[in-house]
Amino acid sequence: MNTTAYTLAASGSALGMAVIVVGGVLITAALIYAVQYGIRIRRSEARRPGRGKRPARPGSGPVHETREQRAPHEMGGGERLGPHELRPTGGTPSGDQHRPRWDSGSSGSFGGGGPA
C-alpha cells in the first residue's frame, strides 16, 4: 500500500486550511484597526452644534414654494430648429393659472379603459 499520495494530499489541505485561517485573522485584525482608527478620527473632530446654535426658522414663518403655470415659447414656422436654437421651456407666466386636468372618464394613460 502506497500512502505517499494520501500524505501529500492531506498535508496540502492542511496547509490550505492554515492559509485560510491566517488570512481570516489578518482580515479581522485589519477591520478592528479600521474601526478603532475611525473612532479616534471622530473624537478629534469638532463637536456638532448645540440646540441654540443650529439654524432657526425665519420669524416670518416657513418658506413656501411657488407654483405657477408657464406658457410655452412659440416655435417658429416652416424650418427645423437645431439644439443651439432652442430656448428654455416655459418662458413667461401663463394667463390661465389653473392646472390642466385629464378629461373626465379617462385615466390619462394609453389604453386606460375610458370611453371609446
Q: Which residues form the domain of 22?
A: 4-44
Determine, yes or no, domain membership for 101.
Answer: no
pLDDT score recorded for residue 104: 65
- This model's pTM is above 0.75: no
Structural domains in the chain (count): 1
Of the pLDDT bands very low, low, confident and very high (cuts 50, 70, 90), residue 62 is confident
Whole-angstrom CA distances from 58 to 15, 54, 63, 65, 81 are: 69, 12, 8, 15, 46
Determine, yes or no, domain membership for 24.
Answer: yes
Determine, yes or no, domain membership for 19.
Answer: yes
Determine, yes or no, domain membership for 26.
Answer: yes
Determine, yes or no, domain membership for 29.
Answer: yes
With vertex at residue 76, the alpha carbon angle to CA 73 and CA 80, rounded to the nearest 5 degrees, is 115
Q: What is the pLDDT of residues 15-57, one digit of tens each?
A: 778 888 999 999 999 999 999 999 999 999 988 878 778 777 7
pLDDT score recorded for residue 96: 78
